[in-house]
A and B are shown apart, each in its own frame.
Chain A
Amino acid sequence: MKILTGILGILLLLSGCSSVQLQDMSQHMGFVTKAATVTQKAARPISDEEEYYIGRAVAARILSIYPLSKDEYPAAYVNLIGKSIAIHSDKPFTYGGYHFAILNSHEKNAFACPGGIIFITKGMFSAVKNEDELAAVLAHEIAHITHRDGISAIQSSRWTEALTIIGSDAMKQYGSQELSQLVHLFEGSIDDVFKTLVVNGYGRSQEYGADETATVLLLKAGYSPEALKDLLARVRGEGGTQAGGMLKTHPATTDRIENISSHMPSGRTDNSLIQKRTARFLKILQYNK
């Protein structure tokens, strides 16, 4: 009988009868409850939508330095390659989708803006020898996006402060003061990401992680995972470490090659297909002037 009473008690509790009493109790708790609610909300990470707006701002800042290439065919080509890889990632859909563009710069570089906009410079496009190597560069950048490496560059104190504003009662009415505070924090976040992407580069572990994921993505997509290693080895051979751009902001190329070799996924790529893709790459290359 005691067991029966116990079960009935649990049932009543679950049914919501007792939730009324709990609500009453929480109303009496006043400030304590409010503080707890704000803290609970503050625990949330940056959402996909917020990541998108941060990424757009970072892209707009990069485009104020590097102009966009107007060459139509190479732009379409990088989009087709990039999307063929992104579709195999853990996150084939981001809030605003993946978009790939070529920057009119002879620097050998590539940038992944949070949310899905990826830039590759003309210099980098010219440095690759075939489609698989171009895919390797894009796969590395896609990996930075799926790992949210750009977002992790934002100082945690900045995001905590933003969440305090977002969670405040005043924010429910979206007052101008709260909005301007939020814009200020947004601007700081863009600075954090931009500096990491363009000036300082990611940390060694983030670069190694992106290389490892890139080789897996390449294999899944049907590209040769060896292509990333081949590209790095050749650029190292050409004395690329002094060339600036991607190699300036990345860990030592020799260390990256060693790391890729030790994490290379098993699987073979058909050589005749690499040749087939190289043929279409060479056709497009003539438009990348």
Chain B
Amino acid sequence: MKITLYAICFFVCIFTSVSVCAGTARIITKENAIREDCRFFAPVKAKVRYSESVEIISGEGDWFRVRYKGISGCIHKSALEEKKFTFSGFTGPQSQAASGDEVALAGKGFNLSVEQSFKKSHPELNYQTVDIIENYSISDDDLRKFMINGGLNQPR
């Protein structure tokens, strides 16, 4: 009797832990990078885009070690939104599936369509300059040199 009870408890634990470990997360920045190590300025292994999914392998401080299209690497936690875990027992991967409502409403809200309509009714607003500001970029190398030259701390 006791052995049967332990066996059942063991299987419950196995099924639960397998599902939790196999967590996925969604990219919530327009674009980001999967890096070789869990630190800023580590070499980039792959680029990811908004709404793409990554599989979480483990957590390392403010970083997650993830798998993306067969590539393993690190991404900062602020670029990710963990998908809500719902237990679906023996059904496995289906636990990550989005409902019809979620799919239909994905991206609805204050989005690009709203901005485009808003822009049309407000031609006086200077969106062109906003785009110039956003398109200005600084490379990892230049930022790292600037930090070193000024005796600033490099983040972990």
- A-B complex is real: yes
Give the number of chain A interface residues (Cβ < 8 Å): 73
**Interface flags, A125-159, vs B, CB<8A=1, else 0:** 00000010000000000000000000000000000
Give the number of chain B interface residues (Cβ < 8 Å): 58
* A57 CB contacts on chain B under 8 angstroms: 115, 118, 125
Decide if A61 is an interface residue (CB 8 Å cutoff).
yes
Decide if A95 is an interface residue (CB 8 Å cutoff).
yes
Cβ contact within 8 Å between B28 and A53: no
Contact partner of B90 (CB less than 8 A), chosen from A8, A15, A92, A95, is: A15
* A41 CB contacts on chain B under 8 angstroms: 105
Within the assembled complex, what's the spacing in Å between the Cα atoms of A180 and B117?
8
Within the assembled complex, what's the spacing in Å between the Cα atoms of A186 and B146?
38
Interface residues of B in 66-123 (CB under 8 A from A): 76, 78-79, 87-91, 101, 104-105, 107-115, 117-118, 121-122
Decide if A25 is an interface residue (CB 8 Å cutoff).
no
Decide if A285 is an interface residue (CB 8 Å cutoff).
no
Decide if A28 is an interface residue (CB 8 Å cutoff).
no
Best-surrounded residue of A80, A94, A167 (most CB of chain B within 10 A): A80
* A270 CB contacts on chain B under 8 angstroms: 151
Cβ contact within 8 Å between A166 and B8: no
The binding surface of chain A is classed by DSSP as helix
Decide if B18 is an interface residue (CB 8 Å cutoff).
no
Decide if A182 is an interface residue (CB 8 Å cutoff).
yes
Within the assembled complex, what's the spacing in Å between the Cα atoms of A179 and B136?
31
Q: Identify the closest chain B residue to A14 (Cβ).
A: B89
Cβ contact within 8 Å between A59 and B133: yes
Whether A15 contacts B89 in the complex (CB less than 8 A), given A95-B28, A96-B30, comes out as: yes
Nearest chain B CB to A282 CB, angstrom units:
13
* B111 CB contacts on chain A under 8 angstroms: 49-50, 53
Best-surrounded residue of B87, B125, B127 (most CB of chain A within 10 A): B125
Within the assembled complex, what's the spacing in Å between the Cα atoms of A8 and B129?
64
Interface residues of A in 236-289 (CB under 8 A from B): 270, 273, 276-277, 280
* B113 CB contacts on chain A under 8 angstroms: 174, 179
Whether A83 contacts B143 in the complex (CB less than 8 A), given A46-B110, A61-B125, comes out as: yes
Nearest chain B CB to A240 CB, angstrom units:
27
Whether A221 contacts B153 in the complex (CB less than 8 A), given A54-B110, A174-B113, comes out as: yes
Nearest chain B CB to A287 CB, angstrom units:
16
Whether A92 contacts B76 in the complex (CB less than 8 A), given A48-B29, A57-B125, A172-B105, comes out as: yes
Contact partner of B117 (CB less than 8 A), chosen from A167, A179, A221, is: A179
Nearest chain B CB to A37 CB, angstrom units:
7
Cβ contact within 8 Å between B28 and A49: yes
* B76 CB contacts on chain A under 8 angstroms: 92-93
* A220 CB contacts on chain B under 8 angstroms: 153, 155
Q: A60-B127, A60-B129, A223-B152 are in contact. List 18 more A-B contacts (CB 8 A).
A: A8-B8, A11-B8, A15-B89, A15-B90, A47-B28, A47-B109, A49-B50, A53-B110, A60-B130, A63-B125, A64-B126, A84-B152, A93-B29, A94-B29, A172-B101, A180-B117, A220-B153, A273-B150
A-B complex: 5 closest residue pairs judged by Cβ atoms: A15-B89, A273-B151, A63-B126, A222-B152, A172-B104
Binding site for B on A (CB under 8 A): 1, 3-4, 7-8, 10-11, 14-17, 19, 37, 41, 46-50, 52-54, 56-57, 59-61, 63-64, 68, 75-76, 79-80, 83-84, 87-88, 90-97, 99, 101, 117, 131, 162, 166-167, 171-172, 174, 179-180, 182-183, 186-187, 189-190, 220-223, 270, 273, 276-277, 280
A sample of 10 cross-chain residue pairs with beta-carbon separation below 8 angstroms, ordered by A number, consists of A14-B12, A14-B89, A47-B28, A49-B111, A56-B127, A92-B40, A92-B155, A96-B30, A99-B136, A221-B152
